[in-house]
Structure 1
Amino acid sequence: MSREAEELNRRLLRARDAMDRAYAHPLDVPAVAAVAHISPAHFSRCFRAVFGESPHHYLQRRRVERSMFLLRETRRTVTEICFDVGFSSLGTFSRTFREIVGQTPTAYREGHGPIVAPHCVQLAAMRPLGAVHRPAAQSTFG
C-alpha cells in the first residue's frame, strides 16, 4: 500500500471515529469530510470504497445500533430514544429502524426489552443455547 493510500485510510478512520463519537449530533457529509481534510464528494467516494457503505448509511446504522441497546436496556420512550440517538423525526427513525432491523422499534423492544426477573434467571436467559453447566469438580480447566 502506498503512503498516500495509508494516509487516506488514516483520514477516513479519523472521520469514522468522529462519526462514532458524535452520532447523536447533527452531522452531514461536509462536516465529516472536513475532519478528514477531503472534499465532500471525494470523501463520499472513498468512504464507500473503504467501508462498503455511504457515510450517511453508516451514520444511520450506528444510530440504530445505539437505539437497539437503549430499547433493550432502558425504559425510555421510543420518542426519547429517537432524539437521543440523533434523529430529528420519529417517522424517519421508525422507517430507518425498520429498514435496518426488520421490525419497528416497539416490536423490537417487545421481543428484546429489559428482563424483569431475578439476576440468576436473567443470566440463564442470556446463556447461549449450547451452553452446558458443569459442576466445578468436573471442570476441564485448572
Structure 2
Amino acid sequence: MPVRASDDVLRHLCRARDHADRHYDQPLDLEQLAAVAGISKYHFQRLFTATYGMSPAEHLSRRRVERAQDLLRATNLTVTEVCMAVGFSSLGSFSTRFSELVGVSPSEFRRRYADGAPRIPGCYLFMAGLAERYPPAESASEEKPSGMARA
C-alpha cells in the first residue's frame, strides 16, 4: 500500500527538501535531513520517495549536478573545482553521476554549452561565497562565527 503524507508531514518534508537545496554543497546525510523534517530517518526516506518520486539522496545529487551545470557554463573553474564546490567528494562519482543525468561528461558539457562566453574567474566565486557565509568581523578581537570549519 503506498504511503500518503498528511499536509503537516508535507510541510516537514518540504522543509527538509528546502534545506537540502540551500545546503547542497555541504555533506548531508539521511539522518540530518530527517532531523530537519522531525521524522525518523526510515519513515522520512519512505515519505520523501513517495512524495517526490525520488530518494533524498537522489534529490541532493540532482541539485548538485544542476548547480555544476551552471558553474561549468559560466566559470573558469576546473571540473575538479566544480566537483568539490557542489559537494561531491569524489571526481569519479561526480563524473559518473553527471554523465548519467546529463548524458555527457562534465568536460564535454562545458565544450558544448559554454558558447565561448567570457567566464567568471573562480577566485571571485570563492570570495563571494565566503563573503556571503562569513561576513567580516567588526573588529579583529571578535571570535570567529561558529561553524567556520567545514568537514
Residue 94 in structure 1 maps to residue 129 in structure 2: no
Deviation per CA, 1:56-104, whole angstroms, max 9, x where unpaired? 0000000000000000011110000000000000000000000110110
Give the Å deviation of 1:116: 3.4
CA distance in 1 between counterparts of 2:28 and 2:14 reads: 16
Give the Å deviation of 1:113: 1.2
> 1:80 maps to what in 2?
81
Cα root mean square deviation, aligned: 1.2
Percent of aligned pairs sharing the same letter: 50
Q: Which structure has the bigger radius of gyration?
A: 1
Residues 74 and 114 of structure 1 are in contact (CA less than 8 Å); yes or no, is this contact kept in structure 2? no
> 2:15 maps to what in 1?
14
Number of residues of Structure 1 aligned to a counterpart in Structure 2: 114
CA distance in 1 between counterparts of 2:75 and 2:22 reads: 21
Task: Please state which structure has a larger fraction of its residues in helix.
Answer: 1
Runs of 4+ with deviation above 3 angstroms: none
> 2:117 maps to what in 1?
116
Residues 71 and 113 of structure 1 are in contact (CA less than 8 Å); yes or no, is this contact kept in structure 2? yes
Normalised TM-score (structure 1) = 0.78
Residue 105 in structure 1 maps to residue 106 in structure 2: yes
Larger mean CA deviation between 4-13 and 58-67 belongs to 4-13
CA distance in 2 between counterparts of 1:116 and 1:42 reads: 46
For 1:49-68, what aligned pairs fall within 5 Å after superposition?
49-68=50-69
CA distance in 2 between counterparts of 1:16 and 1:29 reads: 11
Normalised TM-score (structure 2) = 0.73
> 2:47 maps to what in 1?
46
